[in-house]
Amino acid sequence: MKDMKKLVFSMGLGMLILASCTTKQKTTVTTLSGLNPQNFVTEVNGEATKLFTLKNTNGMEVCITNFGGRIVSIMVPDKDGNMQDVVLGFDSVADYINVPSDFGASIGRYANRIDHGQFVLDGDTIQLPINNYGHCLHGGPKGWQYQVYQANPIDSTTLELTRISPDGDENFPGNLTATVLFKLTDDNAIDIKYSATTDKKTIINMTQHSYFNLSGNPANAATDHILYVNADYYTPVDSTFMTTGEILPVKETPMDFTTPKMVGQDVANFEFAQLKNGNGYDHNWVLNTAGDITQPAAKLTSPTSGISVEVYTNEPGIQVYTGNFLDGTVKGKKGIVYNQRASVCLETQHYPDSPNKPEWPSVVLEPGQTYNSECIYKFSVEK
């Protein structure tokens, strides 16, 4: 009888331990998107990485890691009230470290391309590292998307990230301190404010590089999304994706999104040289908004989910990139394969290669000045 009691007690204890372990496993996943924060805890170059979760009163959720200042997931309601994750990314920081990508990153010091990685500042020619068709792209191979930002969670809706970039970082001049402030508002908008100061004359051009698939299922191409861009002009590129210096009208070309149309309507029209050069859309549009952040710069809508995102910015340009180089070799969140054109990027910015085109809006930052840039992604539903 005693042995039977011991057996029952042991079994009961075992079940309690098992239940406890199961509870612990369940409670580690605390995000609406299903991301496990523990998968984002590590150290890179001695700096700690984590996953931070922002939530608003409507139940919208945004997960951000300070590795690269990356938006990892955005959960918003679709037309049926179901919550959908509308950006591409990875389930763990290990994948962000090991699989080169710009998914969701806070790009710096210079978003987009600089011709042959060279520019002249006060008579000095500065050579940056080359990492894209003979040019410097997104700050070089060790750009900020691969660095750890210092994180300061302010409240449940606000996260401040800071990057201290030393003089000579990827050969950019000046000790530069940059901040990215993410604010999730109660009207379902992500308000992103960038600021920076330097102790030496330098250049800066930051952006947010989320890959949007508003259907909530990136296994499907985003070519059915409806895109509007508030721009009558764009900056054409050569076969190496470098801006030519021209500013051309979009009218009567496949570059015209002043009337909303499907992304896929013209994306593969390679008879139009610009789409051949870009392998699809990978161009900067010259916004009509003239820095007025109250005017929509662009709008993207999924007819499947009804989810829309409107983009507002004080920047003069926006880069539209249609995931042309996704090729099915990368598996993202939940093991989904990311095929070509699984997403659309809407990157607010100064124009590519502005340091070499003095007639374009300046990207120079002087000591004593503060760089300020803002981008708002506002989500809604069209039923």
Of 209, 225, 283, 350, the catalytic one is 209
* Total Cβ atoms within 10 A of residue 194: 25
Of 138, 170, 347, 350, the catalytic one is 347
Strand partners, 70: 65
- Give the N- to C-terminal CA distance of the chain in Å, as an integer: 68
Contact 298, 308 (CB under 8 A): no
- Residue 157: Cβ-neighbour burial (10 angstroms; 0-12, 13-18, 19+): middle
In the residue annotation, 366 being an active-site residue is answered as: no
Contact 150, 67 (CB under 8 A): no
In the residue annotation, 347 being an active-site residue is answered as: yes
Dist. CA 206–CA 349, nearest whole Å: 7
- Residue 5: Cβ-neighbour burial (10 angstroms; 0-12, 13-18, 19+): exposed
- Name 303's Cβ contacts closer than 8 Å, sequence gap at least 6: 224, 225, 226
DSSP classification of residue 36: -
DSSP symbols for 287-337: -TTTT-TTS--EEEE-TTT-EEEEEEESSSEEEEE--TT--S--B-GGG-B
Q: How far is CA 137 from CA 45, 108, 143, 208, in A?
A: 22, 10, 9, 14
Contact 176, 364 (CB under 8 A): no
Dist. CA 336–CA 343, nearest whole Å: 13
DSSP-based three-state secondary structure for 119: strand
Known catalytic residues are 209, 347
